[in-house]
Amino acid sequence: MLENKHPLILGIESSCDETSAALLCGFDVLSHVVYSQLIHQHYGGVVPELASREHETAISRVVDKTFAEAGNISPHNVDAIAVTYGPGLMGALLVGLNFAKGMVVALKKPLIAINHIEAHLYAPFLDFPNLQPPMLCLLVSGGHTLLIDVKGIRDFTILGETLDDAAGESFDKVARLLNIGYPGGPLIDKLSEKGDPNAIRFPRPYLEKESLNFSFSGLKTAVLNYTKTKESFTDQEIADIAAGFQAAVVDVLEEKVRRAVLQTGHKQVILAGGVAANRLLRKRLKNLEKTLDIHLYYPSLKYCTDNAAMIAAAGVLYYEKGWTSGLDVPAVPNLRIYDHSYTG
Ligand code: KG4
Ligand code: ZN
């Protein structure tokens, strides 16, 4: 038996192409298993039907492994089960959500339905357990680009968001244009090392506007138009395009964070979501620490992209506040970060 004042939470994540489970005691990660569905690489993007099928066959194995890796913990010892209920792919969400519902019924434990985007925001807590709001968050993933004024747990104001493509989506689309594979973010990040970011000057979209919103579709079109200027490109030229594109995205993200810090006066800034793994972005935001007198926190790489440890971390915060969900909570593919109407 675990003797600990911190809750023991099982987290389950299946919103897109990662089947994942994690056991946390407070923000201590006891075990964490991520099964990434490689099948989608053949298609250049996630195929929803295949994702659901892969989750269905993987989920019980992933959860069993999570308990096995945590040592002698039995499912009966958990205090609650936290699971992603949106946003994401409907079929994929249903696999994790229904699995969690089955477990809570069998174990007679509370269910905690978690918003996946909100959980990204809490991922830095896994590395910095003493972190406390208020803070500013730049949340950049495959589906979202948000600047959030985080006043407290589940207490947010959106300061800016993308009007079209998300930052991660633009990395993936440009990687597809350059024919370098999927997912594009890590590949462009790596390829950019060999490229000259100043060889091609791509536009810095929406930088001239006062607002804290973003727009990345014009940048993607600028890359597309550039790729049409020649019959073929050398490996060096492809690397230069990748580096030029990445520099444009990072310039915009950095400048909007700078403006948001000046506007809000926040001293703690967190970077979260899959694009938070980008090395140039991490470096450039880290450089803002001195100039703006702020502290920057970003999650370790394994907690940037989709994972169940961040779902369990959100579960810990919710459990401590007594926020649990009914068994009738639905899967909500287009759930917004501030929408709590499904969980009460
Ligand atoms: O948070 P995430 O795993 O899934 C969503 O909730 O969307 O984010 C995935 C996104 C993808 O678009 C991927 O290309 C991007 O994060 N990404 C990166 C890097 N690693 C992942 N983008 C830029 N640089 C990276 N190193
Ligand atoms: Zn995500």
Q: Convert the chain into a string of H (helix), E (strand) and C (coil).
A: CCCCCCCEEEEEECCCCEEEEEEEECCEEEEEEEEECHHHHHHCCCCHHHHHHHHHHHHHHHHHHHHHHCCCCCHHHCCEEEEEEECCCHHHHHHHHHHHHHHHHHHCCCEEEEEHHHHHHHCHHHHCCCCCCCEEEEEECCCCEEEEEEEECCEEEEEEEECCCCHHHHHHHHHHHCCCCCCHHHHHHHHHCCCCCCCCCCCCCCCCCCCCCECCHHHHHHHHHHHCCCCCCCHHHHHHHHHHHHHHHHHHHHHHHHHHHHHHCCCEEEEECHHHHCHHHHHHHHHHHHHHCCEEECCCHHHCCCCHHHHHHHHHHHHHHCCCECCCCCCCCCCCCCCCCCCC
Ligand 1 atom with the smallest distance to the CA of 175 is 14
Tokens of 228: 């049409």
Q: Are 22 and 11 in contact (CB under 8 A)?
A: yes
**What spacing in Å lies between the alpha carbon of 235 and ligand 2's midpoint?**
31
CB-based burial label for 343 (10 Å; 0-12, 13-18, 19+):
buried
**What spacing in Å lies between the alpha carbon of 277 and ligand 1's midpoint?**
7
At residue 1, the pLDDT reads 46
Tokens of 253: 């993200």
Angle at the Cα of 182 from the Cα atoms of 181 and 187, rounded to 5 degrees: 70
Nearest CA to ligand 1 atom 10: 142
Q: Return the domain boundaries, the chain.
A: 8-123+303-320, 131-298
Q: What is the pLDDT of residues 254-278, one digit of tens each?
A: 999 999 999 999 999 999 999 999 9
**What spacing in Å lies between the alpha carbon of 158 and ligand 1's midpoint?**
21
**What spacing in Å lies between the alpha carbon of 115 and ligand 2's midpoint?**
10
Q: What are phi and psi of 105, to 5 degrees?
A: -65, -45
Tokens of 10: 């099982």
The Cα 22–Cα 299 span in angstroms is 16
Q: What is the dotted CATH code of the domain comprising 8-123+303-320? A: 3.30.420.40
Other residues' Cβ atoms within 10 Å of the Cβ of residue 112 = 29
Least distant ligand from the CA of 274 = 1
Low-confidence residues of the chain, pLDDT below 50?
Answer: 1-2
Ligand 1 atom with the smallest distance to the CA of 305 is 3
**What spacing in Å lies between the alpha carbon of 326 and ligand 1's midpoint?**
31
Q: What is the pLDDT of residues 158-169, one digit of tens each?
A: 999 999 999 999
Ligand 1 atom with the smallest distance to the CA of 172 is 14
Tokens of 157: 């104001």
The Cα 86–Cα 104 span in angstroms is 19
This prediction has a pTM of 0.95
**What spacing in Å lies between the alpha carbon of 174 and ligand 1's midpoint?**
13
Nearest CA to ligand 1 atom 7: 142
Least distant ligand from the CA of 172 = 1
CATH class name, domain 131-298 = alpha beta
Pocket, ligand 1, Cβ cutoff 6 A = 16, 120, 141-143, 168-169, 171-172, 183-186, 189, 273-275, 277-278, 305-306
Q: Are 83 and 100 in contact (CB under 8 A)?
A: yes
At residue 193, the pLDDT reads 97
Q: Are 53 and 92 in contact (CB under 8 A)?
A: no
Tokens of 159: 């300061």
At residue 3, the pLDDT reads 52
**What spacing in Å lies between the alpha carbon of 276 and ligand 1's midpoint?**
8
Ligand 1 atom with the smallest distance to the CA of 169 is 12
At residue 163, the pLDDT reads 94
Nearest CA to ligand 1 atom 18: 185
131-298 and 8-123+303-320 share a CATH fold = yes
The Cα 28–Cα 5 span in angstroms is 12
The Cα 241–Cα 226 span in angstroms is 9
